Structure 1
Amino acid sequence: MWIRKIESTGFLKPTATTIALAALLVLPVCLLFTFSGRADAQAPAPAKPQAAPPAGQLAPPRVAAPRAKPRVVVTTDGEIDDRCSMIRFLLYANEFDVEGLIYSSSRFHWLGQTWSGVEWINALISMYERVYPNLRKNADGYPTPDELRSKVYVGNIHNVGEMERDTPGADRIVRVLLDDKPGPVYLQAWGGTNTIAKALHTIQTRYPDQVEKVSRKAIVYIILDQDETFRKYIEPNWPKLQVLGSFRQFAVLAYGWANLIPLPHRVLFERPWMEGNITVDRGPLTGAYESSNGAFRSEGDSPSFMHQIEVGLRSLEHPSYGGWGGRFVQEKPGVNNVWTNAADDGDMYKPIWRWATAFQNDWAARAAWCVLPYREANHAPVVVLNGPADLEAAPGATVTLDVSSSGDPDGDRLYFSWWQYRDPGSYKGTVSIRDADRGVASFTVPADAKPGDTIHLIAEVTDDGKPPLTRYARVIVTVRPK
């Protein structure tokens, strides 16, 4: 392991070498990262932090090659909640390959109508520039301010749903979708989808031989559906294109958050927490956050990029798995590739708020990175799964779940919590997890589980730093015949 272990404290503070390795390490096998509000049962009592087992007691951990960063394009109508979301986005800019930051329109905002102009993104990048040197001390991969400025474009802004004009923003999307770089491109619609629609229309009419390629490559994440271009153009003309439609679920982080986020998560949105962790004494970037009397304002668009932050929940593998950006079910199976709001335990908003304490604490840690040196800041644990992330087991079989080789770049103690995420699994019964508060847990596949049923198990690994940070592993068990 890249962190030296001792039995008395679990981990030593890292050396300069381990700090560098921690900064460079990227997600072992889809299984690094973040936190939750519990799913189908009450949270277990806080676990005691565990020292790592002696060397050689466990099989070597399964670690994958570093993954490419998700390629993302943001389109925004510049509403106040977009500006708030952009501040959070910039703090996570090292997690993405940012391909475009594009001004667009919506039914709420367009040129000449409650319009924020085309300078506010660059203004926030200038704030980012002032904290960029310190962000780099805490994590690798942050793009330079000039790199971000080079990705700012003006798209289709002249009217609601306008997709007739060729614009620099739409042309940028076309170039990104037609290039030969591997991997998906996530097109985020913080406002309307009209600039994205214009780009797709250009490809359909000028590059018809590329439609299949682009249908496989692009993934559109829509917040609210803020003009008619999705339903009238994208959906009927691009039936194979994957679309994640957060048409209602996003509201948990929008203006009505106080009525939708339950305790204890809600306190992390109120004025004392925001001023203590985000807006005061954290530098000019988060200081520019347009709060509501000191409290969280609205970030209805943030789920569109939180979905792509790799935290170990494997949410990019399938829309139904769920993660920080919500969870989705297919709208019209066999007809289109549109996925829309799923419910957890019957609650439309729970697929986002269940993780709220984790992602708010994570945001607070990044705000602190703007002003603190590495050794005074907190950094997320690294979750290592010993064993496969996907496996098969028959009813009555015992399955061992092991993340005991996980570590922390700051040498913090770790708390473990295993739980069943019932909603994305097809087995709807409850499994009993033994030693759920330890790094090594187990369960027996229930006798009534049918062949083909899936059971999702989540490991939360939380450090004792300030703020406490969580990362996850997800193990998916498919039931096979006896």
Structure 2
Amino acid sequence: MTAPAPVASTIPRPRTIVTADPELDDLNSMIRFLLYSNELEIEGLIYASSRFHWRGDGAGTSFFLPDREYDEPQTSWRWAPGERFIDDAVDAYAQAHANLVVHDPRFPSPERLRSVIREGNVDFEGDTSAETPGSRLIADVLLDDRPGPVFLQLWAGPSTVARALRSIEERFRDTPDWEAVHATVSAKAVITKFASQDGTFDDYIAPVWPGIRVLEVATLAWGYMARWTIPAAQHGLLSAEWMRENVTSVGPLGALYRVWGDGRQMVPGDMTDYFHPSGVSADDLRAQGYKVWIDPQPAGEWISEGDSTNMLNLLVPSLRGHEHPSYGGWGGRYEPTSEGADTWGLTDAAFHPDGADLANGPGGDEGSVVRWFADAQADFAARLRWSVTRRFEDANHHPVLAIEQGIDHGVEAGGEVRLSALVDDPDGDIVRVRWWIYDDAGTTDAALAAVDGPETTVYVPAGANPGDTIHVIAEASDDAAGYPLKSYQRVIVTVTGA
């Protein structure tokens, strides 16, 4: 039995380019990312540098900046010879691909993914002195004739994206087309970044391209400090038992995923990477020369997917979290910042990219991210099961959910709109529909006639103002044993004038 055409095939898939450096959390995020490649148009997978990882030029040139983890100039920093962690992840995906397409034929071929792997500006931190294959790919995508947005995910430093934008500037700056090109590219590119891991964002991108939308997606919830923000009741999703059952024992992609005490280092001998030993205390590690900044956890437990918030709002297009930063989705909800004309930060951030002291714990609860964590983990586990399941009927799949009346409505103040969920399940499971109002995403109060069942009515308050919005989430959950799944639809009700 083969997969039916998925309902999401009618929804435009977000276009995206990932730039990543060889940190173990980048590898883990890449594994998750590839398991959602059916939901995305992946235009680039690019090796990039940062203040934490750079290759060097191979000519013995030394590089030094103060206030780093090292005291002497280095010819490379935390970069393995022949680094290929992105290629490794795609190779593991290739082993699973024949199974994945049984469950959704939109999963791209390994050859398609390999065709967009490039090396970016990796020689030194913040080096934009020359074009690279990665920077040229980014520039070509930003200049193509397809409309935006294109989500540029900065899991590493911004230098490769900065070089791409600089190349566009150099090509057009002294031509009559510059103003139009600058406006078009600015409107097309959307940058998501886990902090500015080199100086090129502040030095070049922000002042020269101020019209580009930028989201600061740094969180604790998906990173090394996840235990600080994930509710204690969900810590089981970080446990060695859960990871072993649902991730590390599940096929080639799961086997590649990094956990505490797994005996592997990204770069052998890296004294800042102390996640591989098992049963060793922080003091013991320090005595061995490791730079320990967070206590070791039991072998087999979650380490980090620090960069996953770059992608999470793209992975469920029907939740519409990628349409606007204020909407919110798996990757959290964002609000304007004072950093620029179109810059956004997490509404309830606990992580502070400016280096604020976290010694006494986080300063925010990251609730707009954390509320989705269990759903995202369950979905990840189900997709890993797809990667090892050869027959469609032997795995669980998402319920098919649509809204009969459509997902955008204009309603006068004091009015109402009826909504009907059309639900099916490809596996024949019983599906429960739940409705809820995402209050934080909207701008006025509202009420629902029902919160359970296939139908509800949204009652718009009489005092609502024209332009106010109400965000209604329809959530369909199947009752499959082991790996139940959810599908979503977001309905946006906008208050109109009389």
Shorter-chain TM-score above 0.5: yes
**Residue 283 of structure 1: CA displacement?**
0.8
CA distance in 1, matches of 2:214, 2:137: 20
Task: Please state how far the C-alpha of 1:132 moved relative to its aligned partner.
Answer: 1.1
- Counterpart of 1:440 in structure 2 is 455
SS at match of 2:403: coil
On the 8 A contact 1:395/1:444 being kept in 2, the answer is no
1:457 is aligned to 472
- Aligned equivalents of 2:403 and 2:325: distance in 1? 22
Helix, strand or coil at the partner of 2:17: strand
For 1:156, give the aligned amino acid.
Answer: N
User: Hey, what does 1:244 align to over in structure 2?
Assistant: 215
Kindly indicate whether the alpha-carbon contact (under 8 Å) linking 2:192 and 2:216 is maintained by their aligned counterparts in 1: yes
Q: Residues 277-296 of structure 1 correspond to what in structure 2 (within 5 A)?
A: 277-280=246-249, 282-292=250-260, 293-296=299-302
- C-alpha distance in 1 between matches for 2:112 and 2:496: 50
Using the alignment, how far apart are the partners of 1:201 and 1:475 within structure 2?
A: 39
Q: Deviations over 1:335-387 (max 9, x none)?
A: 5121222239x955112111111111110111001111211111111211011
Match of 1:338 among 316, 338, 343: 343
The alignment's TM-score, normalised by the length of structure 2, stands at 0.80
Equivalent pair of 1:361/1:468 in contact (CA under 8 Å): yes
1:381 paired residue among 375, 399, 411: 399
Task: Please show how residues 224-373 of structure 1 align to structure 2 within 5 Å.
Answer: 224-246=195-217, 248=218, 250-280=219-249, 282-292=250-260, 293-332=299-338, 336-343=341-348, 347=364, 349-372=366-389, 373=391
Amino acid at match of 1:360: Q
Distance 1:263 1:348, change over 3 A: closer
Instruction: Indicate how the Cα distance of structure 1 residues 206 and 398 shifts in structure 2: closer, same or farther if over 3 A, else same.
Output: closer
Q: In the aligned structure 1, how far is the partner of 2:474 from the partner of 2:415?
A: 20
Answer yes or no: is the 8 Å Cα contact 1:79–1:116 preserved in 2: no
- Is the counterpart of residue 198 in structure 1 residue 163 in structure 2? yes
Could you report, residue by residue, the CA deviation over 1:409-467 in whole angstroms, capped at 9, with x for unpaired residues? 1111111111111111111x4x4422201111124223443333222111111111231
State how far apart, in whole Å, the 2-side matches of 1:236 and 1:310 are.
Answer: 33
SS of equivalent residue, structure 2 residue 488: strand
Structural RMSD (CA): 2.1
RCO higher in structure (CA 8 A, sep ≥6): 1
Judge which range, 360-369 or 454-463, deviates more: 454-463
1:155 and 1:170 in contact (8 A); partners too: yes
Aligned to 1:411: 428
Tell me, what secondary structure is at the counterpart of 2:418?
strand
Segment drifting more, 374-383 vs 270-279? 270-279
Whole-Å Cα distance in 2 between the matches of residues 478 and 178 of structure 1? 34
Look up the SS of the partner of 1:177 in the other structure. helix
Q: Where do residues 41-120 of structure 1 align in structure 2 (5 Å cutoff)?
A: 66-111=10-55, 112-117=76-81, 118-120=83-85
- Residue identity opposite 2:457 in structure 1: S
Render the CA deviation track for 1:309-347: whole Å, top value 9, x for unaligned. 1342111221110111222112249x5121222239x95
Is the contact made by 1:392 and 1:478 (CA closer than 8 Å) also made in structure 2? yes
1:143-154 correspondence runs (5 A): 143-154=108-119
Q: Taking structure 1 as reference, are residues 287 and 168 closer, same or farther at Cα in structure 2, changes over 3 Å only? A: same
Higher alpha-carbon deviation: 356-365 or 175-184: 175-184
Q: Which letter does structure 2 place at the counterpart of 1:97?
A: E
Q: Are the counterparts in 2 of residues 341 and 348 from structure 1 also a CA contact under 8 Å?
A: no
Aligned to 2:87: 122
Equivalent residue pairs, number: 419
State whether residues 311 and 471 of structure 1, in contact with CA within 8 Å, keep that contact through their aligned partners in structure 2: no
Cα deviations across residues 83-103 of structure 1 (Å, max 9, x unaligned)?
A: 111111111122222211111
Q: Is the 8 A contact 2:158 2:197 kept in 1?
A: yes
TM-score, normalized by length of structure 1? 0.82
Cα 1:318/1:107, change in 2 over 3 Å: same
Q: Cα deviations across residues 15-66 of structure 1 (Å, max 9, x unaligned)?
A: x5xx54x334325xxxxxxxxxxxxxxxxxxxxxxxxxxxxxxxxxxxxxx2
Contact 1:219 1:243 in 2 (8 A): yes
> Pairwise mapping of residues 165-180 of structure 1 onto structure 2 (< 5 A)?
165-180=130-145
Structure 1 residue 390: Cα displacement: 2.1
Provide the C-alpha distance between the structure 1 equivalents of 2:147 and 2:467, rounded to a whole number of angstroms: 32
Of 302-311 and 285-294, deviating more is 302-311
Partner of 1:54: none
**Closer, same or farther in 2 for the Cα pair 1:157/1:263, shift >3 Å?**
same
User: Per-residue displacement from partner, 1:203-228 (whole Å, max 9, x unpaired)?
Assistant: 01113332222112111111122112
For the 8 Å contact 1:414–1:464, the answer to whether it is kept is: yes
The answer to whether the 8 Å contact 2:415/2:462 transfers is no
* Matched AA of 1:401: L
Q: State which drifts further: 446-455 or 251-260.
A: 446-455
Q: Does the Cα contact within 8 Å between 2:52 and 2:78 map onto a contact in 1? A: yes
Q: Which residue of 2 aligns with 1:468?
A: 484
1:263, distance to aligned residue in structure 2 (A): 4.0
SS of corresponding position for 1:316: coil
Instruction: Answer yes or no: is 1:182 the counterpart of 2:147.
Output: yes
